[in-house]
Structure 1
Amino acid sequence: METDFLLIGQGIAGTALAYRLKQAGKSIKIFDRPDQNQSSRVAAGLFNPVTGRKMVKTWNADSLFPEIIPFYRELETVTRQKFLRVQPIYRPFLSIEEQNEWMGHSADPEFSQYLETIHQQSQSPFIHDPYGGVLLKNCGWLDINPLLDGMQQYFKEDLILDYLNPSDFEENGGFWEVKGIRAKALIFCNGLGAMDSGFFDFLPFAPVKGEILEIKQEFSPNFIINRGVFRVHLGGGIHRVGSTYTWHDLDQGPTDRAKNELTERLSGLIKLPIEEYQSQKVGIRPATKDRKPFLGKHPSKQDVYIFDGFGAKGVSLVPYYSKVMATFLLGSNSLPKEVDIARYFNYI
């Protein structure tokens, strides 16, 4: 069996790139672990143009955000599933100075496409927002499990659920032979698994553990609340709350420390008690040392590529960069220097 591209990993990254290549008329095969991609499936799924404690515009937002909604809408069409939740995000101000700063942003074309409303007063007796807040648009969240399940059905026989080891990759006569498949090119999209592939161990992955809660709590507005912690209404009074970031205890499951941290942060945002804890989930994000993804071609191996390292912002980054990567693989452009793995070749 011969194919143009063999992708390893059907998380968000592998799904998007495989779809782009298939739409371009290329033959593809995907290997994914039978226990599925836990990093993608546990991810919170937010896409948010303004992030961090200082509420700054997310890196490369003006390129990323025009691609997000159209791309996932297209995947909804091909899968006949609904998983994209376009929803405003409300971010309370922490001071009158911050309120004034954002009043200034409202007249700045750099921010105008992401600003719905600047509120100078509290928007709810249930929110800690004495200085008001900013309501952001062109944002929301992605229900990742139905996306990945729907795309499994879309790929059909092109998706192979099986484990791979470094010894399974054999270079032979201009092809890569992997368990009976002859591929012209390999693309690793398997998160932290790429570190153990035998090809990309030189790249500085920086795994980050994240934990999220699902809780029952009153007050279900039609917007996401995000400041220090995010709170997304899933329906029926159930909310997703997250997320922690830690570089320690990566092999440990859900922790009381994370549960307590998220609970405390939520209490600083919402004035209502938690009625019930529904679940606590853990994922290890394939983040990178410089917080930029890994795209590019192996420096010495023939036709071996990587599309990986999207960390906590995969939902936002992947639509745009899957287009960039697909165009590169089809020979039509070079990669942006800030994401090209060539930035690390001097360290090999």
Structure 2
Amino acid sequence: MNSCIKITKNDLILGMEVDFLLIGQGLAGTVLSHRLIQDGHSVHLIDDGDPNSSSKIAAGLYNPVTGRNLVKTWLADILFEEIERFYHEMERLLDKDLVHSLGIYRPFVSYEEQNEWVAKSADPQFNAFIKQVFTQSRNKGVKDPFGGVLLKSTGYINTLELVNGYSEWLRERNLLTKAVLSEKDLVQTKDGNWQFKEILAKKIVFTNGIQARNNTFFNWIPFIPVKGEILTVKQDYYSSEIINRGVFRIDMGEGIGKVGSTYNNSEVNLCPTDAGKKEILDKLEQLIEKEVIAIKDHQVGIRPGIRDRKPVLGKHPSKDNVYLFGGFGAKGVSLVPYLSKQMVKLMVCGEEPHKEVNINRFFKYI
């Protein structure tokens, strides 16, 4: 037990006492609980087992250069040192193949963009993430008349395998309860601990994505749910790289590709749409020369976005021992490994996280 935790003994005798009770076992709950266990703390997780959670639907891309204007991801130099190291550790723990290190090839749309990336390739801020800039077409089957940039330190994590594999690992150790949590099931004891049925926890952490907005603890956080649709398609096309322009295409082998995704914050539900399918197929047609032979699957997930597009880490301003770790949006795979370390430092030793992700930026909304 870390010496900087001050623990008071509760006078209730219950079936299980833990240091941390985590609500939600998606990507955030998986990674944070593993960090806590590594640090010597006892944990238990509650999860509703939703098969449509964003962590299970997500493509799991990690890419240091993103956005319409292709800028370096916030904290990229720090984040990308942690990503593959952490997920390889989870591979060893779960005995599963989770990490797929693949280059991302992004075609240029003009000579101006080509020239811009030739210049960026000489910039120390970018050259660590650029494998090569091509000034002419080089990728058979891809529509890239102006060439493109091949990025490195990129790839995807099989988040479905990660979350499901870790769920089994937790169950084998009696560390996971499958349940739909009702807020009335959480009772605070007189010394500030939290009780959920037979479990007594010193601290609770909401790691349940967009569902965190449905409780009175954190309903003041400006969550913005974002619907994303992903297709699995059959094409007579193979690539050893992820192709990304307008949509991404991840090659799954045998002519199967995962393609996405849409970004919709106006119609937020779990229903696949013809409009979403058409958007993805239209953009894929602009990217890949081969026609789609068949659509094998059409999935929908709801990303837990935040108004300012940064995650939220922190302690509730007035409730004792209540924390939030969420709002990772489409970049959870990249952000969670590093920010989970900051979250542990906050909960264990009181060290505040980066101001850009600190929950205190939203206290004015309470």
Instruction: Normalising by structure 2, report the TM-score.
Output: 0.93
Alignment length, in residue pairs?
348
State the match for 1:40 in structure 2.
55
The AA in structure 2 aligned to 1:27 is S
Matches within 5 A, 1:103-182: 103-156=118-171, 157-173=174-190, 174-182=192-200
Kept in 1: contact 2:270–2:302 (CA 8 A)? no
Query: Cα offset for 1:124?
Result: 2.5
Matches within 5 A, 1:199-210: 199-210=217-228
State the match for 1:227 in structure 2.
245
State the match for 2:315 in structure 1.
297
State the match for 2:83 in structure 1.
68
Query: Cα offset for 1:49?
Result: 1.0
The AA in structure 1 aligned to 2:54 is S
What is the CA RMSD across the aligned residues, in angstroms?
A: 1.1
Could you tell which deviates more after superposition, 33-42 or 3-12?
33-42
Determine whether 1:316 maps to 2:337. Answer: no
The AA in structure 1 aligned to 2:358 is D
Kept in 1: contact 2:269–2:302 (CA 8 A)? no
State the match for 2:273 in structure 1.
255
Determine whether 1:57 maps to 2:57. Answer: no
- Alignment partners' CA distance in 2, 1:236 and 1:199: 48
- Alignment partners' CA distance in 1, 2:155 and 2:249: 11
User: Can you list the C-alpha shifts for 1:69-99, whole angstroms capped at 9, x where unaligned?
Assistant: 0000000010011111010000011111111
Kept in 2: contact 1:166–1:196 (CA 8 A)? no
The AA in structure 2 aligned to 1:147 is L
Flag as ranges the 4+ runs of structure 1 deviating above 6 A.
Answer: none
Kept in 2: contact 1:10–1:37 (CA 8 A)? no
State the match for 2:9 in structure 1.
none
Kept in 1: contact 2:229–2:298 (CA 8 A)? yes
State the match for 1:341 in structure 2.
359
Instruction: Normalising by structure 1, report the TM-score.
Output: 0.98
Query: Cα offset for 1:326?
Result: 1.1
Structure 2: which 5+ runs fail to align? 1-15
Query: Cα offset for 1:37?
Result: 6.0
Query: Cα offset for 1:170?
Result: 0.6
Query: Cα offset for 1:288?
Result: 0.4
Equivalent in 312, 324, 345 of residue 306 of structure 1: 324
Query: Cα offset for 1:117?
Result: 0.7
State the match for 2:234 in structure 1.
216
Determine whether 1:84 maps to 2:102. Answer: no
| Identical amino acids, percent of aligned pairs | 49
Equivalent in 238, 242, 248 of residue 260 of structure 2: 242
Question: Which SS does the other structure have where 2:59 is aligned?
Answer: coil
- Alignment partners' CA distance in 2, 1:163 and 1:46: 29
Question: Which SS does the other structure have where 1:194 is aligned?
Answer: helix
User: Can you list the C-alpha shifts for 1:107-137, whole angstroms capped at 9, x where unaligned?
Assistant: 1110111011111111134111111000000
Question: Which SS does the other structure have where 1:90 is aligned?
Answer: strand
- Alignment partners' CA distance in 1, 2:361 and 2:224: 16
- Alignment partners' CA distance in 1, 2:57 and 2:255: 20
- Alignment partners' CA distance in 1, 2:236 and 2:335: 33
User: Can you list the C-alpha shifts for 1:222-253, whole angstroms capped at 9, x where unaligned?
Assistant: 10000111000112211000000011221250
Matches within 5 A, 1:175-190: 175-190=193-208
State the match for 1:14 in structure 2.
29
